[in-house]
Amino acid sequence: MNNIIAFSLMALMMSMLPGTDTVLIMKNTLIHGAKAGRYTILGMATGLIFWTFIVVLGLSVVISQSVFLFNTIKYLGATYLFYLGIRAFFTKSTLSIEDVQAEGSQRSIEKLSHHHCKESYLQGVLSNILNPKTILVYITFMPQFIDLTGNTNQQLIALGLILTVIAVGWFLILVYLLDHVKQWLKKPGFQKVFQKSTGVMLIGFGVKTVI
């Protein structure tokens, strides 16, 4: 496997560039808490691992070469981002874990936490599986670091895992930082503006996906 350090640095740069994952993780962390942010990361990692095995099976090439399949994924992904964006923009208020804690019921806290974590995980999974740009990363970026004299599948799995670990590591740092500054960002005015802003950004990413 050639240039593993170069691949790792490129993977880190791609992870750090603001995108759909960054917006979703920020939204879920600041609105629902660090645990929801970590579950979003878990969903994102699930999506990346899914595409790693799709590449190993050779199906990514089939998808990329099929206009119908590629466009289906592209438009489904765009539709999902539109849905998340519109939902975030028009939601009047969100009940956080802190709000429930203030009211008291431990059972309500656990139920709300479970709901937010499950929803955050699904958002992370679907936003990655339905992202056509992820397919392009696996079929155009990764092959440049493959040694054709070696076992291709093993190298693809290794590169996919490296990409996943680097992305997870970066986003865990992001969640940690967001969780520590969240106490200064709890004002209702900021929460309202932030939620509508993330809605607009998600819709924008949906438009960008289609173009």
Look at residue 11 and tell me if it is in a domain: no
Look at residue 10 and tell me if it is in a domain: no
Q: Report how far residue 146's alpha carbon sits from residue 129's, in angstroms, rounded to the nearest whole number.
A: 23
Based on the structure, what is the number of domains in the chain? 1
The letter for the amino acid at 153 is N
Full-model pTM: 0.83
CA distance readout (Å), 138 to 1, 43, 59: 15, 18, 11
* CA-CA-CA-CA torsion sign (146, 147, 151, 155): negative
Look at residue 5 and tell me if it is in a domain: no
Look at residue 6 and tell me if it is in a domain: no
Look at residue 146 and tell me if it is in a domain: yes
Q: Report how far residue 192's alpha carbon sits from residue 62's, in angstroms, rounded to the nearest whole number.
A: 43
CA distance readout (Å), 140 to 41, 75, 145: 24, 21, 10
Q: What is the pLDDT of residues 93-122, one digit of tens each?
A: 554 545 544 545 555 556 667 888 999 999
Q: Which domain holds residue 74?
A: 19-210
Q: What is the pLDDT of residues 168-208, one digit of tens each?
A: 999 999 999 998 887 676 666 677 777 788 888 888 888 88
Look at residue 105 and tell me if it is in a domain: yes
Look at residue 72 and tell me if it is in a domain: yes
**At a CB cut-off of 8 Å and minimum separation 6, what does 152 contact?**
146
